[in-house]
Structure 1
Amino acid sequence: MRNIIVICAFLTIVLACKSPEARRPISAKSGSFIDKSVARNIKLNESEYKRIEEIIKNNPQNNYIASQNGFWYYYNTKIADTTKTPGFGDIINYTYNVKTLSGQLVYSKDEIKTQNYVMDKQELFSGLREGLKLMKAGETVTFLFPSQKAYGYYGDENKIGTNAPLMCEVTVNSIKTSESN
């Protein structure tokens, strides 16, 4: 009987000293969702760029310029003097309209009304924010924004749907230089 107690105590000590084993996941994620999302976005970008290139090709009277920020634009009215473009904190008074790439009006200048924007201190969709930096007071520019430079995946939750590339005609009325510039 004593031998059985010694053997049980010995087995308990040996088995209790075993290191814990890592638990394995029930299912493993392969990252395929991310891969599919990347592939889908690449196709979306390619199709939007093709549409924009087609617009540029079909309108040779407009001198389109490719920006470093991923959109295209041309000047409807260009100011030739050396007036400076807006800087950080400057207040820009402007009007604009929003159209689809096919030219269908989404928001008119009357609907949007005249806007004031403090450069880089307020929220504005990225394409328009970068476009305003290129403009001088008195200029009118037409921008072609791919969806990622416009309202992107979410749209504006009103009239602009998901992944909608846009055309905007923007007029800068005035630029008020901030005190710090």
Structure 2
Amino acid sequence: MRRHKEKGGSPNKKRKSGTARDSRAESEEFLKKNRSKADVIETASGLQYSIVDPGEGASPTEWSTVEVNQRILLVDGTVIKDTFRTPDRDRFTMEEAIPGLKEGLPMMKEGGRFRFVVPPDLAWGKRGAGNKIGPNAALVFDIRLERVND
């Protein structure tokens, strides 16, 4: 007698229904551990950062366009983007930035490098972004502010 395969795939595969809840728990655990590091500063909004290199140039305002090199990671270490390995920088207006970067980038000066840990509510929140960033995902940004254009 042949058995029919159940719809929905292998029972060993992780089901997507718990993904948002699991991601929220994983993000909260990562933020809690990161908060306890000696060099980490946390703002009132929950944005966490550490200063790798303070830089010496101009700081962006809410109306600036910035050029950055950045490595964006999920809290499990998955690399979403890494412009440090390419000849191209990312360029965007502060208005286009996610809330965590709108808050964090003005603390930086040109030439500076910070590590931001952005909680889900200051990133893409419940909706996520495409197929790379799931719902309720905290993100880690290793970011160098290359240039500020006003």
Q: CA deviation at 1:84?
A: 4.3
Residue in structure 2 matched with residue 26 of structure 1 by the alignment? none
Residue in structure 1 matched with residue 65 of structure 2 by the alignment? 91
Q: CA deviation at 1:47?
A: 6.3
Aligned length: 130
Runs of 4+ aligned structure 1 residues displaced above 6 Å come to 44-47
Residue in structure 1 matched with residue 40 of structure 2 by the alignment? 64
Residue in structure 1 matched with residue 30 of structure 2 by the alignment? 51
Q: What do the CA deviations read for 1:58-79 (whole angstroms, capped 9, x no partner)?
A: x44xx11112332100011113
The aligned runs of 1:1-181 (5 Å cut-off) are: 48-57=27-36, 59-60=37-38, 63-79=39-55, 81=56, 83-109=57-83, 110=85, 113-120=88-95, 123-176=96-149, 178=150
Q: CA RMSD in A?
A: 2.8
Is the 8 Å Cα contact of residues 51 and 114 (structure 2) preserved in structure 1? yes
Is the 8 Å Cα contact of residues 90 and 175 (structure 1) preserved in structure 2? yes
Is the 8 Å Cα contact of residues 99 and 106 (structure 1) preserved in structure 2? yes
List runs of 5+ in structure 2 lacking aligned partners.
1-19
Is the 8 Å Cα contact of residues 69 and 130 (structure 1) preserved in structure 2? no
Distance 1:64 1:50 in 2: 15
Q: Report 1 or 2 for greater relative contact order, CA contacts < 8 Å, sequence distance ≥ 6.
A: 2
Is the 8 Å Cα contact of residues 45 and 146 (structure 1) preserved in structure 2? no
TM-score (norm 2): 0.72
1:104 is aligned with what amino acid? T
Distance 1:47 1:100, change over 3 A: closer
Q: What do the CA deviations read for 1:77-101 (whole angstroms, capped 9, x no partner)?
A: 113x5x4421232221112111112
Name which one, 1 or 2, has greater alpha-carbon Rg.
1
List runs of 5+ in structure 1 lacking aligned partners.
1-39
Identity value in percent = 21
Distance 1:164 1:175 in 2: 28
Distance 2:34 2:139 in 1: 12
Distance 1:96 1:48 in 2: 20
